[in-house]
A and B are shown apart, each in its own frame.
Chain A
Amino acid sequence: MTLLSLFAGPPAAAGAESFRDHAKRLGHRPRGDHALIDTLDRSGLVGRGGASFPVAVKWRSVAGRDRGSAVVIANGAEGEPLSRKDRTLMALRPHLVIDGALIAAEAVGASRTLLYIGEAHGAATAAITRALSERPAAELARLTLLGAPPSYVAGEESAAVNFVNSGVAAPLAVPPRPFEKGVDGRPTLVQNVESLAHAALIARFGDAWFQSLGRHNAAGTILLTVSGAVAKAGVIEVSSGCSVDEVLALAGGVSGKARAVLLGGYFGGWINADRAGSMILDPSGLRAAGGSLGCGVVSVLDESADPLDVSARIMQHLANESAAQCGPCFFGLRSLSAATTRIAARQADHGDLPQLHRWTAMVKGRGACRHPDGAVAFLQSALTVFEPEFAAAAGTRGRRAS
């Protein structure tokens, strides 16, 4: 089940793979074209930035508007606090990411390719910088490295476009979406770096190969960041379709006793420990079921931790990370965070808990981007999974989140 695809090759301790070793191991990259988009379609690859959106559909929407002037943004902003997988991938396999970005640019007809990498991710930036210096001059001329600000929303795709256009990494009101009107008004593909790296391998080995990496009906491998109450926290690559229990075993097992698992990161949700183990990690399957693998975060909450305190801290972070553009997001998340914090501190007003339920419904869907939606989805999961704790702390009988 620890099938290595992105991380095949030299071990992590060896650091970034050089261009020479990369080309020797995998051969030179094929060119991207429309046929490749069909191959990606058959492969079942979905985006690994959080939304699990089919990659081929995204590429086609940009390629369909191609007048040869599209733009590709390789998104390595990775602002999710619990995620490390993108920076790890860039630090160890920079050439796979660059291959994927170039192939995407050729397939969609882009003349500019931007590598948008979290400026706080030092090792990743260093590896990519060095990798660029190893590439042929013709490729180098098409690539620009750009530091992404260290905020949560900087990686949201319209925020990435806005940053390139205006220097402000805040989401834009959509439509128009980036694929319609992005960088300099041109059709723009914003794609997570892990998705691009998978595409670089699918371009070489084909869709059937990618399918064969997954288990059951899932396709390919996935990068996960495992953290919290496990023996060995870190980034691992697993077959799509494996279970949370298998992932936790790979991470050396749960230390202590698990109360819940946070799947998908701050925009994901809590899952009760007794249900989490058997969950199947398949991005497409989870998306179809109305859930989300998000950006591949698996974080274990120990029974000795206070789930209300942990949830309140995450709500505080999400409230602080509102871009402060849209009133319902800025004021709504602040109110939600304050009420959650009062409950966690066992200083709740009698109305706080009902108010949380009311406000989550009120805020949802009312931002230019999906930041408020992600935050309230997270809070709803906390209200459901930790219902007894919330009810006890708020001094009221808990109501079920609907």
Chain B
Amino acid sequence: MAQTELWIDRTKCDGSRLCAELFPERISLDDWGYPIIAPGPIPAALMPHAQKAVDSCPVLALALRRVERRPPPPPPAVKPT
């Protein structure tokens, strides 16, 4: 089933913080002012907020993407021993 998710191009994002202000339900900021995006599909009720956040980004780093299903988790990182 197709779902909508937030996608960020981290190489473009320069930490304007606008997205976190406009979509606090899903976007918080790290200690350096860059967005932390909660994983998972965006429910329909929150779509207007998500769209506002995307539209506000001055460097067009944020996008809404249709995904057919949840992407597979990234390969495991090295486990500390």
Contacts and interface: CB of A to CB of B under 8 A. Distances in A.
Interface of A: 51, 53, 170-173, 264, 267-272, 275, 287, 289-292, 294, 325-329, 331-332, 335, 359, 362-368, 370, 373-374, 376-378, 380-381, 383-385, 401
B9 interface: yes
Contacts of B30: 328, 332, 362-363, 366
30 contacts: A53-B75, A171-B11, A172-B11, A173-B9, A173-B10, A264-B78, A269-B78, A269-B79, A269-B80, A270-B81, A272-B81, A292-B78, A325-B10, A326-B11, A327-B34, A331-B32, A332-B32, A335-B32, A363-B30, A366-B34, A366-B36, A368-B9, A368-B10, A373-B74, A374-B77, A374-B78, A377-B78, A383-B80, A384-B80, A385-B81
B34 to A, nearest CB: 4
Contact of B34 (A270, A331, A359, A368): A331
B6 to A, nearest CB: 13
A327 B77 CA distance: 21
A250 B78 CA distance: 26
Contacts of B34: 327-328, 331, 366
Given A326-B11, A327-B15, A368-B9, A362 B80 contact: no
B13 A377 contact: no
Contacts, number: 90
Contacts of B11: 170-173, 325-326, 368
Contact of B14 (A264, A327, A366, A370): A327
A292 B77 CA distance: 8
B32 A271 contact: no
Interface in B8-37: 9-15, 30-34, 36
Contacts of A275: 81
Contacts of B33: 327
B72 interface: no
A107 to B, nearest CB: 24
Central interface residue in A289, A368, A374, by most chain B CB within 10 Å = A368
A364 B14 CA distance: 18
A143 to B, nearest CB: 31
A173 B9 CA distance: 6
A314 B17 CA distance: 31
Nearest to A268: B78
Nearest to B14: A327
A291 B79 CA distance: 6
A381 B81 contact: yes
Given A326-B10, A366-B10, 9 more contacts: A264-B78, A272-B81, A294-B78, A327-B34, A328-B10, A368-B11, A374-B77, A377-B77, A384-B81
A328 B32 contact: yes
A362 B9 CA distance: 17
Contacts of A172: 11
Contacts of B36: 362, 366
A384 B15 CA distance: 32
Contacts of A370: 74
A289 B14 CA distance: 37
A342 B75 CA distance: 32
Contact of B75 (A51, A272, A325): A51
B2 to A, nearest CB: 17
A383 B80 CA distance: 8
Contacts of B14: 327
Given A327-B15, A335-B32, A368-B11, A271 B81 contact: yes
Contacts of B12: 173
A327 B19 CA distance: 15
Interface in B53-81: 74-81
A367 B30 CA distance: 13
A381 B78 CA distance: 8
Central interface residue in A275, A366, A367, A378, by most chain B CB within 10 Å = A366
A267 B32 contact: no
Contacts of B15: 327
A13 to B, nearest CB: 36
B10 A401 contact: no
Contacts of A267: 78
For the complex of A and B, list the 10 residue pairs with the smallest distance between their C-beta atoms, beginning with the closest. A331-B32, A326-B10, A327-B34, A384-B80, A381-B80, A325-B11, A377-B78, A380-B80, A173-B9, A377-B77
Given A326-B10, A327-B14, A335 B77 contact: no
Nearest to A373: B77
